[in-house]
Structure 1
Amino acid sequence: MTYPGSGGQWQPNDPNQQGPGGYPQQGYGQQPGYPQQGGYPQQGGYPQTGPQPPQGGYPQTGPQGFQQPQTGPQGFQQPYGQPNFGGLGGEPPKKRGKGPIIGAIAAVVVVALGVGATIFVLNRSGSDQAGQDNPTQAATNLVNSLSQGDVLGVLESLTPAESALLVDFNSRTTERLKELKVYKEDADPNKLHGASVEATNLKYDEQGAEKVNDHLTITKLIGGTVSLRSDVSELPLTEEFMDAAFPDGMVSTEPTDEKVDIAEVVKESGEPIRIATVKVDDKWYPSLFYTVADYALLESGEEWPSEPIANNGAGSAEEAVEEMVQASINADVERVIELLPPDEMGALHDAGPVLVEAAGRPSPAPVEVTSLETDSAAAETGGMRVTLKEVEVRAEGQTFRVVKDGDCYTAEAEGETQQLCAADMAKEIGGTDMPADVRQALANLASGMLKNTGVVATEFDGKWYVSPLRTYSELGLTALSDLTPEDVLALVSMG
């Protein structure tokens, strides 16, 4: 398999370019490529009794609202994992106690992805992108939108690629969860429900802002106050869903309040709160995922590389997926990053050289893909969804073949054949003694996933790239595609 040549001109909307110009895979200790559980938020929009949000990384934001602090007096878990760049940098650095503002921002955006049934977001309705003239204004605009409970404003203040990804996905998720009778029909899509954030008297160290390159500047917040309040009673979940999820009532519905003095946080940690801002088309935007990448590098004692990993996409969506598979088998970290969308995952392109160095020279997997056939169709999350038709693999002298037929997969190996269908998965998950309605719900859930699960590729400047974020979002939407309102009630009742 041959790959297109590296390099080429930087594109005007590419945050990696050397002129006017985005997100990393969360947790730099993971192998880049496809998202893993605990890295990107799980989709589906259910509270604690449904599909669960990840247990690490971002603050948990289900019906409980913003959780009480577990580590440090500031009250928010770090919005990033504890990275380990392959052991680079000697002893693990001391964990820094920063994170209140970033934690709040992360909480809002994660909830907007459908994790906690707290934020409801629809499409931007053609409104202008909220770019600012300088990095400080961009960071301030984000925090001010939080203070106003303006979820749409929060998402639109992010980089265009981040904003489009979050807003478009939530448009579909929100409507689907209304159809499933999880959300009330009158839920306000543009407001923050169940929690509020208020920021006052914000102060930045503008002289100390770090200009990483001509499209990335790290702003530094050093003063002000952030107040947070959560109230479970304000969550616009339907009575039917709440009765099924909490038949004995919720343990506590009392509102919680917390106030964070940013100057005290900075004093205790010894460092300001960092918010990464990115320049795109002569305007500045705060970037959630560049911020996550910045903290990951900081925690590991690494600096932003001087040069990014080039954008080097494929000629079609199918080719992009095939080349990603081959690069993963070859343990070619640089090629994997080249095939990631430069707009959505610009931070990973910028930080990529550190990952490549940390990976060293890993050995290719002892696997050969001898045949791979795929189908493609428009993805709900944008781009093209590439699904498996048939794959043949040789490993350790044996040949394995998998064929997809509807919601069934047939595997052949060493002369034996085994089939897995949605009904089989339902039995494996719930056992043979589960109630009939639960068995049907699990079968419908598995059917939606097995029929439509694939890898999403997006086009950027005439080339195709594999999008882990849209792939993961698509998985959440397809999992809901065959469910009914009765299925949801059966599943949460079982939970």
Structure 2
Amino acid sequence: MLVDYGGQSMAFCTTCGAQQTSDHEAFCPSCGNRHTAAAGQQPPSWGVVPPPPPPPAAPPTMMPPAMQQPPSMPPPGMSPPGLAPAGWQPPVSGSGGGKGTWLRVGGIVGLVLAISAVGIVGWRVFSPHGGAGSPEDAVENLMNAAADQDPVGVLDMVSPAEIEGMDDVYDAARERAKDEDLVDGDGVTDAVELEFSDLSFDVDELSDDIARVTLDGGRYKVSWDPAKLPDRLDFLKDESTGESESGDIADLFYDEQPSVMTVKVDGRWYVSLIGTSADYTYRSAEREADYSDYDLASPDWDLAAADVDPITGDTPEDVIANLVDAVNSGKSEQLLANLPEDLVKPLRPYVPVIDELQREGGWAEGEIGLSVSADDLDLSTEDLDDDLVKVVIESGTFTGTAFEEGYDNDTGSLAVEGDCVDVFEEDYLGDSGCASDIPIVKDLGLTDLFFVVAKVDDGYQLDPGATLVEYASTAIDGLSSDVVEKILDELRDEVEGDGDYYDY
């Protein structure tokens, strides 16, 4: 395009607006697109997309000097060098677009990817992970994840304090299973298919942080096709045939509607395995109390949100001593304060129930209780990740006495020496044995008796969840190919005859 500046003709690229260095240029040195003919000139026979009409003059705006248009800029309607003009569109096929077009398209793609990356990073960092927005969604998501054979999805719906670290255990277990050709596909096994439909729930919000979710209705469909098992499990293919079944979920639970307890953690709802177990235990005791005409105390659901100062120990020996003191105090609240706060949250509502049973004896004739002691302890420690410490009991004696008013006390003790344990009842030896004498325990490397403590404030607490994870991790580390083959041989013998290596 030719523009007259005071009698001097100057040419500008109609695609990017850059000034031409010569009237005879065929391609723009800035963007690489072919120049269109100047006004009055015939365009080349191959043609190009005509430039868009100049936009209407914009109203004056206040801009900082650095953003104001310099005198050397093209006139209104033209774009500064390196920027596409207003209304620009990429040339159609055959229009002769050069490297500038592809650079510009690449820039747009790069911008889209950058925006997407920022969105993904923001979602990973700021969006809540795990849990659900409501109690019923947490339960439904867990059920569907189980049906989809998505263990990570299941773990995402369980209270984090109860399963922290189990995702790593699952990943390690799955990798070992893949190495041993024991799994196919993305799920746990293609041989089982499970589907839930028409799910409905009844929610009883017991407090701001605790809710019981009861399954009101729903259907299931499950199928078993042993032909889809991995070849290494062929002994199962020969012993079973394909089956399928469907029906109402309620029919699987006879006269009782299934329910689970959920807890709110950091604004998200999760299924609590500990809370569900406690709820079933309490409701079973409630039915027994009704039968025995005993007035059982009710849980105080608001205690789930109670702010309790943790009880910690400076050393592993102190942790054990604190637990001993808590048991001997007879105060369940003190015992719970020795354990991770989020873990025992769903148990706190039952503190009044337990304390009353202990004081009054419940169905017993008088006060009941338990006293314990830990003596001659020899402990060794190993630092783990995430402020965790593994504590191995090299030796020690643990004694417990159960008492009930009006009856003789029952006393027993357990003596640990290495991987061997002697159990005493009153004045005689009740039982004894060594972990290394049990083939499966020895093969999996589970011969140490240990627990795991977690860093809390300026001290340590027993962490039952981390202890379970460490035992599971140890077992997976012990799953060598030889051990896997022994386990499969034993399973094969159990299916086809009698196994004698591992005693299940």
TM-score after normalising by structure 1? 0.54
Q: Which moved more, 1:134-143 or 1:376-385?
A: 376-385
Deviations 1:57-97 (A, max 9, x none): xxxxxxxxxxxxxxxxxxxxxxxxxxxxxxxxxxxxxxxxx
What's the CA shift for 1:283? 1.9
Where do residues 440-459 of structure 1 align in structure 2 (5 Å cutoff)? 444-445=442-443, 448-450=445-447, 452-459=448-455
Give 1:410 deviation, angstroms. 11
Query: In the TM superposition, what is the alpha-carbon distance from 1:130 to its structure 2 partner?
Result: 3.0
Among candidates 355, 363, 374, match of residue 379 of structure 2: 374
Kindly report the root-mean-square deviation, in angstroms, between the aligned alpha carbons of the 2 structures.
Answer: 4.4
Question: What is aligned with 2:103?
Answer: none
Alignment-derived partner of residue 204 in structure 2: 210
| CA deviations over 1:365-403 (Å, ceiling 9, x no partner) | 4x654443422223589832111244367999xx99865
Change (3 A) 1:132 1:363: closer
Question: What residue in structure 1 maps to residue 221 of structure 2?
Answer: 227
Among 278, 285, 296, the alignment partner of 2:281 is 296
Q: Percent identity?
A: 24
Q: 1:233 to 1:134 in 2, by over 3 A?
A: same
| Residue in 1 that maps onto 2:265 | 280
Q: Secondary structure at the match of 1:174?
A: helix
The aligned amino acid for 1:158 is V
For residues 177 and 207 of structure 2, the distance between their equivalents in structure 1, rounded to whole angstroms, comes to: 42
Instruction: Report if the CA contact (8 A) 1:385-1:455 is conserved.
Output: yes
Deviations 1:390-424 (A, max 9, x none): 4367999xx998654xx68999xxxxxxx9877xx
Instruction: Please report how far the alpha carbon of residue 215 of structure 1 lies from its aligned counterpart in structure 2 after TM superposition.
Output: 0.3
> 2:152 maps to what in 1?
152
Q: Secondary structure at the match of 1:214?
A: coil
Letter aligned with residue 299 of structure 1? S
Deviation at 1:332, TM superposition (A): 5.9
Aligned 8 A contact 1:379 1:456 in 2? no
Compared with structure 1, are the counterparts of its residues 442 and 280 closer, same or farther at alpha carbon in structure 2 (3 Å cutoff)? closer
Q: What amino acid is the match of 1:261?
A: D
Residue 355 of structure 1 aligns to which amino acid in structure 2?
I
* Residue 470 (str. 1) matches residue 466 (str. 2): yes
How far has the Cα of 1:140 moved from its partner? Answer: 2.5
Q: How far off its partner does 1:150 sit?
A: 2.9
Using the TM superposition, give the Cα deviation of residue 470 of structure 1 relative to its aligned residue in structure 2, in angstroms: 3.2
Q: How far 1:349 moved relative to its partner?
A: 3.1
Q: Is the 8 A contact 1:203 1:223 kept in 2?
A: yes
Offset of residue 468 of structure 1: 2.8
Post-superposition shift, 1:311? Answer: 5.6
Q: Which residue of 2 aligns with 1:346?
A: 345
**Is the 2:148–2:194 Cα contact (8 Å) retained in structure 1?**
yes
Distance 2:313 2:449 in 1: 22
Point out where structure 1 has 5 or more consecutive residues left out of the alignment. Answer: 1-124, 412-418, 430-440
Aligned mates of 1:322, 1:334 — CA distance in 2: 16
Aligned: 1:383 with 2:388: yes
Could you list the per-position Cα deviations for residues 282-320 of structure 1 after superposition, in whole angstroms to 9, with x for gaps in the alignment? 222233332332233223226433435846331346132
Compute the displacement of 1:214 (Å). Answer: 0.9
**Alignment partner of 2:217: what SS?**
strand
Measured in 2, the distance between the counterparts of 1:144 and 1:395 equals 44
Contact between 1:381 and 1:470, CA under 8 Å: does it hold in 2? no
Deviation string, structure 1 residues 128-179 (Cα, Å, up to 9, x no partner): 5233222233222223323433332222122232353432332333345556
> Secondary structure at the residue paired with 1:219?
strand
Alpha carbons 1:195, 1:230 under 8 Å: kept: yes
Question: How many angstroms does 1:216 deviate by?
Answer: 0.8
User: What does the per-residue CA deviation read over 1:249-293, in whole Å, with 9 as the maximum and x for residues that have no partner?
Assistant: 666322332323246679x73x65423222111222233332332
Paired with 1:295 and 1:400, the residues of 2 have a C-alpha distance of 30
State the SS of the aligned residue for 2:357: helix
SS in 2 for 1:386: strand
Give the drift of 1:221: 2.5
Q: Which position in structure 2 is the counterpart of 1:200?
A: 197
Aligned residue runs from structure 1 range 10-409, under 5 A: 129-176=129-176, 181=180, 184=182, 187-188=184-185, 190-191=187-188, 193-205=190-202, 209-236=203-230, 239=232, 242=233, 252-262=239-249, 269=255, 272-301=257-286, 303-306=298-301, 307=303, 310=308, 312-316=310-314, 318=316, 319-328=318-327, 333-360=332-359, 361-365=367-371, 368-379=373-384, 383-391=388-396, 404=418
Amino acid at match of 1:278: V
Query: Structure 1 residues 148 and 317 mapped into 2: Cα distance closer, same or farther (>3 Å)?
Result: farther
Q: What does residue 32 of structure 1 align with?
A: none
Separation in 1, partners of 2:321, 2:167? 29
Read off the aligned partner of 1:391 and give its amino acid letter.
G
Higher relative contact order (CA 8 A, sep 6+): 1
Using the TM superposition, give the Cα deviation of residue 454 of structure 1 relative to its aligned residue in structure 2, in angstroms: 0.6
C-alpha displacement of 1:200: 1.2
Partner deviation per Cα, 1:87-143 (whole Å, 9 max, x = no partner): xxxxxxxxxxxxxxxxxxxxxxxxxxxxxxxxxxxxxx9995233222233222223
Is 1:485 the counterpart of 2:484? The answer is no
Cα drift, residue 477 of structure 1: 3.5
One-letter identity of the residue aligned with 2:197: T
Identify if the C-alpha distance between structure 1 residues 192 and 479 changes in structure 2 by more than 3 Å, giving closer, same or farther.
closer
**Distance across 2 between alignment mates of 1:380 and 1:173:** 19
Q: Is the 8 A contact 2:227 2:237 kept in 1?
A: no
- Where does 1:393-432 land on structure 2 (aligned, <5 Å)? 404=418, 425-426=436-437, 429=438
Name the aligned partner's letter for residue 144 of structure 2. Answer: N
Query: Which of these two proteins has the greater Rg computed from alpha carbons?
Result: 2
Q: Deviations over 1:449-477 (max 9, x none)?
A: 23x43111234556533233432343344
1:171 aligned partner, one-letter code: D
State the AA in 2 paired with 1:305: D
The one-letter code matched in structure 2 to 1:445 is D
SS at match of 2:164: helix
Contact 2:201/2:215, CA 8 A, preserved across alignment: yes
